[in-house]
Structure 1
C-alpha cells in the first residue's frame, strides 16, 4: 500500500510520524510525506526526510501556483469555517498572521486542494496518516482522500489513561462505531475494568493532560536551552525561507515576538488574577449547601472546540449566557482549565467573578469532587462530561463530542434551552457502563506521547504501523 504522512509545525510531531513512516517501509509499504513548509527543515532538521525524493512541501507548491486564477467555489458544501476556522482561532487568539492580502485565503484553499488531489492521484495513495483532523492542512488532506475513496487515519490520545484512538472522520465514524459497540454484552473482565475505573476516577488524569506541561507559567520556561535554540532557528528560517507562502505560520520573526508576548502576558495575568478566584475553603463550604452546576473552561485554541464546536470558543460569552439562564438561587461553578490559566487577561477573570450566579473556582480544584456535589455539568464538549456521566451526573452539552449520544446527555441547541432542560434525574451507574466500555473498545492500548519519541523503539513503531495497515484493510 501507499501511505501519505502529514507533517506540520506541531512540536516534535515530525520525528514521531517519521518513525511511523519508517515502520511502514519496514513492513513493505511505500511512504510519502507532505510537509506544510520548508521552515520545518530548519526548526526540526531531519535530512533523510527533508531531502528525500518522496517528500513534498506545500509552500513550494503554493508559490508555484499562487498566480493561477482561482475559480469560484459557489455551490461548495464546505464552509469557510470548516476549512479555516481552526487556523483563525489561533491567529485571532494570539493576534498573528492577520495581515494577508486580499484574495490570499481563496488561493490557499485552491492550492491546498490541488496539492493533495495531485499527490494522492500521482502517488496512488491508499491512506493519509496524521493526528485527528485539527487544522486546514489536515482538513484539506481529509477532503482529498475522501474524494479518492480512500482512508484517513488520525491518531489521538484517548480520554482513558494508557490508550489512544484512530479516527477515520471528524466525528461521524466514531459515533457510528460507538453506537454499534455499545450494543455488545459486557464481559466479566470489562465489568471489572469499569468498576475499577469508576471507583478511581476522582484521581484519574488522561494522558494528554498529564504530559502536556501547559500548566507551567514560569519565566524560566522561556529561558531554557531548548527555547533559546528554537528562537535561533526561527531567526534563521526568517532569513532563509519565503514565509509569505507559509500560510499556517506567517513571519518567524513575528512568531518570536508574539510567543514572548503571550507567555509574558500569561505570567502577569496569572499573578494579577489570583484574587478573583474564590478560596478553596469558601468553595468547599458553599458546595455543601447550595444548588449548583459546574462549567469547565477549555484550553484555547484547541481542535476540540475550533473543529467540533466553533460557535462556543468565546468563554466569556459561554459563561455569561449559561449563568443568565440558570434559575435564581442556583449557582454556576466555573473552573478554569489548568493548562489555560493565565492565557485570558486578568480583566476576563474580573468580569467572570463579578457575575451574580458565578463562583470562579481555582484551576487546582479537583473538578470531579465538585461534580459529585453538583446538580450536573454544563459543557461545550469537555472530557469532564465523560467523567460526570461515570459519576452519575447529567451532562448538558452545547457542542459536539464522541459521548453526545450516551445516556444522561442533554444536547442543547442554544443557551435558551437550559431552563427547560435542567433537573434531569441522576444516572444509574449501570445505565452508562455499556457506553463507557464501548468507548474503551473503540480505543487501543498504548502510549501516544509525541514528546517521548526518542524512547520509542522499532518494536513500538512497527506495532503502531501494523495497526494502521489493518485499519486500511478493514475499510
Structure 2
C-alpha cells in the first residue's frame, strides 16, 4: 500500500472515488491538499489541508533542502516564477521577494512531504499555478514519484503522466482500450470545431459575455455563492484593508490603463499589408499566462525566445507571420514585448482580423509552443514545428525544434493522412474514460453522474493497482 499525497482532486466528481480507495486499503492518503470551499466535505479526513493558505497560517518549517536540493530548485525557478505571474497575490513583487516566497514554500512543502513519508504525489492536471508548481518541484527534488491526471482533447477522457516531460509520450501508460479498436476517421482539413474557441466562449473568457456581466441580476444566489467562495479562497492573501486596496483596487485601475496601452501597442505593431505569395512560417501566439506555455513550454514559455530561435535559422528569403491569440490581454504583452519583437526584421505581426486558417494554408509550415494549431496543421496536411510538450508531439509531420532542423526539408515533408489517423487512434487508445474536473462538464455530452463514477473507479483502479504497482 503506497503512501499518496493528493493535490486538489477535491471536487464532487473525484473526491469520493479517491476516498474509497483509501478506505479499502488500496492506497493510504497521508496528505490531501484541498481548496477552502471544499473544506466541509473533508470533515472526516484529518489529513486534509487547505493548501493555498497552509503555508501562510503560522508558517513554520524545518529547513530541509540540502545545498544540492537548492541548486535543483534554482533550475526550476523560471518554471515556478512563470506560474507565479498568474496570481495577483504576488503582483509586481521585486525579484528577491519572489525568491523569498519560493524558498519558504519549497522548504515548507518538502518538509511536509518528508514528515508524512510520501511515496507518490497525484496532481489534478499538469502542475501549474504558484503553489502547485512548488509542490511539484519539491516532490521531484526529493525523488518522489509524481502522477498527473490530464484531460484529453475528448471531454470525457483523460491520460496519466508521470512528469511534465512525459506529456505527449505517456511512457508508462499501456493501451487501455481494445487493440482491435477501429481507426478513428479524421477529416483532412485545418479547421476544427473547438468548443473553447467559439465566439461566445472567447467573449466569456475576456469578461465580455452578457451572461457573466448580468449574472448578479439573472442568478443572484449563484453569484453570491461564487463571491463567498472567492472570499474564502483568497481572504488570507491580504494582510490588511490597506493591502487589499493596494492589490485589488490599484490593480483594477492599472489593468484598465495597461489594457488600453496594450491594444495601442498591438495596433502600432501590426503589419500594414501581407502577401500570400511570400514564403513564411505561421506562428500563432499562445494565450498567456496559461498552462500550455508556462508549464509545457520549458524555456520557450518565453514565446519571443522561440520566435528568435526560429528566425536565427530561417532561410534568407522567408518571413515569420506572428498572430495574437484572440483571448489575449495585456499580461505578458507589455512595452518590452513589442520592443523586442520589433528587433526581428523577418517578423510580421499580423492583425487579429486575418483568418488563422488562411494563414495556415499559405504557410510553409506552422510553428507553435504546444498549441492546438500544430494539430490543426498536421491533420490538414501541413507540417508543424513544436517547441514544448504537446499531446501530438510524436505524430507524423511534427518536428521538435532544434538548431539542426532543415526548415526547407520540414516544409517539403509529405504527411500521410492515414498514418496520422492511426497514431491518433493509438493515442486515444491510451486514454481512460471519465471526467474528474467540473469545468470539463460544459463540453461533455449526455453526462451521467452514476456512469461517470463507475468510470472513475475503474480508471483509478488502473492507476493504483495496475499502473502504480508496475511502476515503483
TM-score, normalised to structure 2, is 0.73
Structure 2 residue aligned with 1:319: 307
- Residue ranges of structure 2 left out of the alignment (5+ in a row): 217-221, 468-472
Asked if residue 256 in structure 1 is aligned to residue 244 in structure 2, the reply is: no
Q: Identify unmatched segments of 5+ residues in structure 1.
A: 8-12, 245-250
1:463 aligns with 2:451: no
**From 376, 379, 383, the counterpart of 2:372:** 383
TM-score normalized with structure 1 length: 0.73
Aligned to 2:470: none
Q: Superposed, which structure 2 residues align to 1:85-234 within 5 Å?
A: 85-92=78-85, 96=91, 98=93, 100=97, 103-121=100-118, 128-135=122-129, 137-138=131-132, 141-142=135-136, 152-160=146-154, 163-172=157-166, 174-175=168-169, 177=171, 189-190=182-183, 193-194=184-185, 197-199=186-188, 201-205=190-194, 209=197, 215-218=205-208, 225=216
Say if 2:408 is the partner of 1:410.
no
Deviations 1:342-371 (A, max 9, x none): 542477558757954333334465534432
Secondary structure of 2:322's partner? strand
Q: Which whole-Å CA distance do the structure 2 matches of 1:338 and 1:61 have between them?
A: 36
Matched, 1:294 2:282: yes
Cα deviation, residue 403, structure 1: 3.4
C-alpha separation in 1, matches of 2:131 and 2:209: 32
Corresponding residue of 1:472: 464
- Counterpart for residue 247 of structure 1: none
Q: Per-residue deviation at 1:297?
A: 0.8
**Secondary structure of the residue that 2:91 maps to in structure 1?**
coil
Between structures 1 and 2, the one with greater helix share: 1
Is the Cα contact below 8 Å between 2:121 and 2:145 reproduced in 1?
A: yes
In structure 1, the residue matched to 2:326 is 338
Say whether residues 1:268 and 2:294 are aligned partners. Answer: no
Q: Which residue of 2 aligns with 1:34?
A: 32
Matching of residues 227-242 of structure 1 within 5 Å:
241=236
Give the whole-Å Cα distance in 1 for the aligned partners of 2:269 and 2:121.
49
Q: Are the aligned partners of 2:434 and 2:455 in contact in 1 as well (CA < 8 Å)?
A: no
Tell me the distance in 2 between the aligned counterparts of 1:367 and 1:323. Answer: 20
- Distance in structure 2 (CA, Å) of the matches to 1:162 and 1:223: 30
| Shift, 1:404, TM fit | 3.4
RMSD: 4.5
After TM superposition, give the deviation of residue 376 of structure 1 in Å: 0.6
- Equivalents in 2 of 1:372, 1:186: separation in Å? 35
Instruction: After TM superposition, list the pairs within 5 Å mapping 1:446-457 onto structure 2.
Output: 450-451=438-439, 457=449
CA contact under 8 A between 2:121 and 2:144: conserved in structure 1?
Answer: yes
**Aligned counterpart, 1:10:** none
| Aligned CA distance change for structure 1 residues 202 and 470 (closer, same or farther; 3 Å) | same
- Secondary structure (helix, strand or coil) at the match of 1:392 reads coil
Conserved 8 A contact 2:293-2:301: yes
Q: CA deviation at 1:274?
A: 4.5
CA contact (8 A) 2:383 2:398 kept: yes
User: Cα gap change, 1:213/1:113 in structure 2, threshold over 3 Å: closer, same or farther?
Assistant: farther
CA offset at residue 373 of structure 1? Answer: 2.2
The corresponding residue for 1:436 is: 424
Q: In the TM superposition, what is the alpha-carbon distance from 1:88 to its structure 2 partner?
A: 1.2
* Counterpart for residue 14 of structure 2: 20
Q: Give the number of aligned pairs.
A: 439
Q: Residue 293 of structure 1 aligns to a residue in which SS?
A: strand
On the 8 A contact 1:218/1:267 being kept in 2, the answer is no
The secondary structure found in structure 1 opposite 2:169 is helix
User: Compared with structure 1, are the counterparts of its residues 357 and 228 closer, same or farther at alpha carbon in structure 2 (3 Å cutoff)?
Assistant: farther
Answer yes or no: is the 8 Å Cα contact 1:219–1:264 preserved in 2.
Answer: no
